[in-house]
Homo-oligomer: A and B are copies of this chain.
Amino acid sequence: MPDKVRIAIDAMGGDHGASVILPGAEISLVRHPDIEYVVFGNSAVVEPVLAGLPRLKAASRFVHTEVAIRMDDKPSQALRYGRWKSSMWLALDAVKKGDADVVVSAGNTGALMAMARFNLKMMEGIERPAIAALWPTLKGESIVLDVGASIGADENHLINLAMMGSAMARVLFDIDKPTVGLLNIGVEEVKGLEQVREAGRILREQPTPHFEYHGFVEGNDIGKGTVDVVVTEGFAGNIALKTAEGTARQFGQYLKSAMSRTFAARLGYLLARQAFQTMREKMDPQRANGGVFLGLNGVVIKSHGGANAMGFAAAIDLGYDMVRYELLAKIGQSMARDLPASTGTERVASGAAS
C-alpha cells in the first residue's frame, strides 16, 4: 500500500466542469490529506480555478490537455477524436502507466468505459466490465451491480459480478463475508431467467470463502437492504437504478407540494425542517455519488455528470477507499480462491493485480 493515494482527475467532464470538480477535489483533500492529485484539463479553464484553491494547488500536479470529451458523443466518436490526447484518456493513462492509483471523472459514461477498456484492458479471467452503484437502504448502503456496463449475463458473468461486488463490499463496509443476492423475479410461473437460476445453483453448491450467498432477491429487497451485494445483469440493473431515482424524486415532489398547500402544513414544515433536512440527506444521491467500474486493470470512478462539489468529493472519497483498502487485490483474492472451477479459465491472483 502506497504512502500517498494518487488520484488522477479529469477536470473537463460533467455538466459543470472544473468549477465544480476542483472545489470537490479540495473538499476530499481536506478529509484525506494523504491524497496527491494529477489534474488533466485545459489550462485556460483549469488554472484560474486552481489559483483560487491554494491548498488543492499545492497537492496537485497539473497537465494541460487540448481536447475535452463532449457529454453526448458516442463512445466511438469520443475514441476517434479523444484517444491519446483528451483529458479523459490521459487521466486513465496515468493509472495505466502507474502515475496514479485511481481515476475519477464526471464525464460521458460510455466514452469513459470505452476508453477504460481500450487503455486499461480487462482483468485476467473477466471478459466484460461492470458498473457498481452504491444504493442507500433502510439498513445503510448496499452495492448493486451491474447497473449498465453491458447487457445480458450468463452464469459465469453473474458469478464474476458476485466476486467483484463482494470484494467492493469488503473494502467499503468493513465486513469479512458480505451477503450476496441474485436479483430475480418472484412470479412462480416463470421462475426467473435460466442463467440466474444456474448461477444460483453454482453459488449454492460451491464454497465461496469471501462472501455468503443469500439466494434470490426481488426488486423491493434492494431498498430494504436484505443483502450487502445485489447482482444482476446490466439492463435490468440500470432500469432498477433509474426507476428508484425517479421514485425518490416523485416522493420528494409530492412531499414538497403537500407541505406548501395550507398554512398549518407550512408551519409544520418549519417546525420539522431539521427532520426533513436529515431525510433529504439520507435520500440525496450526491452523498453516495460514484459508480465504480469493475473488471478493469485499474480503479475507475464515474461521478454523476450533474454532481455538485460535495457530490464530486463523494466520488473521490469512494476512489480513495477503493485504493486504500486495496480493491483490486481483494478482487484478485476472490478470483483466485472463490469458485475456482466455475469457468474453464484458470485464474491466478497475480492476474488481478493492477
Dominant secondary structure at the A interface:
helix
**Residue A272 lies at the interface, judged by CB distance under 8 Å to chain B:** yes
Given A188-B109, A244-B244, A270-B268, is A183 in contact with B239 using a C-beta cutoff of 8 Å?
yes
Which of chain A's residues 240-276 have a Cβ closer than 8 Å to chain B? 240-251, 253-255, 258-259, 261-262, 264-265, 267-276
Q: For A241, list chain B residues within 8 Å (CB).
A: 219
Given A151-B193, A243-B220, A270-B268, is A75 in contact with B188 using a C-beta cutoff of 8 Å?
yes
Bound CA span A219–B238, Å: 8
State the copy count for this chain.
Answer: 2
The answer on a CB contact under 8 Å between A236 and B239 is yes
**Per-position 1/0 for A26-70, Cβ under 8 A of B:** 000000000000000000000000000000000000000000000
Given A75-B188, A246-B224, is A261 in contact with B238 using a C-beta cutoff of 8 Å?
no
The answer on a CB contact under 8 Å between A272 and B264 is yes
Q: For A270, list chain B residues within 8 Å (CB).
A: 268
| Closest B residue by C-beta to A78 | B188
A222 to chain B minimum Cβ distance, whole angstroms, is 6
A120 to chain B minimum Cβ distance, whole angstroms, is 15
Bound CA span A255–B280, Å: 9
Given A185-B234, A188-B75, A254-B282, is A246 in contact with B219 using a C-beta cutoff of 8 Å?
yes
Bound CA span A183–B239, Å: 8
**Residue A189 lies at the interface, judged by CB distance under 8 Å to chain B:** yes
A109 to chain B minimum Cβ distance, whole angstroms, is 6
Q: For A258, list chain B residues within 8 Å (CB).
A: 272, 275-276, 278-279
Using CB atoms and an 8 Å cutoff, list the residues of chain A in contact with chain B.
Answer: 74-75, 108-111, 113-114, 136-138, 148-152, 183, 185-190, 192-193, 218-224, 232, 234-236, 238-251, 253-255, 258-259, 261-262, 264-265, 267-276, 278-279, 282-283
